[in-house]
Amino acid sequence: TYKYNPSEQKPNCVGKAEPGTVVRVVDAFNKECKPGKIGEIVLSGQDISKSCPNPYYIGDVGFKDQAGDLFIVGRKDEQIKVGGYRVSLSQYMNIYNKYRSGVFSVVNPGTQWHEVAIIFETNESLKKIKKYVNKIAPPVSQCCRPKWIFTIKKLPLTATGKINKQ
């Protein structure tokens, strides 16, 4: 639905909408966001699957820049599609509960499915954490293993004590 356009000048850029698809970024009142302002991503047009509503609120949040390029920065909800399976991000946090962790999803432009990144709060080595992750069965299937695993000494928190995903 959008043309993947990676660029060194624009890291994390997803690209522009393909002809036949309209990609909008809207606020809570369904008004178009100005460039640089984060909102929910909405797809519409002739290329939207007949099984999806048109317009289709995909659950991702992001922004467009002045040139109209789309950047995805997160999810509105906790449910993602990984390798064709619907998975709740809280499933990952629950299954890897030995550590405090932040779970994030990233859209794979080639498949339009999400891939999972987990950041573990620990002083242990990344090698040890990867062994721990590989010993535990993933939430749904082998294809749902996290694609990226990182460690950090202290996760950033919001004023209310939740993990700051920004």
Residue 24 predicted with pLDDT over 90: yes
139 vs 101: CA distance, rounded Å: 15
**Residue 65 CA neighbour count, 13 Å, CB half:** 14
Q: What is the pLDDT of residue 134?
A: 85
Residue 114: what residue type?
H
Residue 25 predicted with pLDDT over 90: yes
Residue 3 predicted with pLDDT over 50: no
Q: What is the pLDDT of residue 58?
A: 80
Residue 7 predicted with pLDDT over 70: no
Residue 3: what residue type?
K
Residue 114 predicted with pLDDT over 50: yes
69 vs 63: CA distance, rounded Å: 8
pLDDT confidence band for 48 (50 / 70 / 90): confident
Q: What is the pTM of this model?
A: 0.53
165 vs 106: CA distance, rounded Å: 13
Q: What is the pLDDT of residue 76?
A: 77
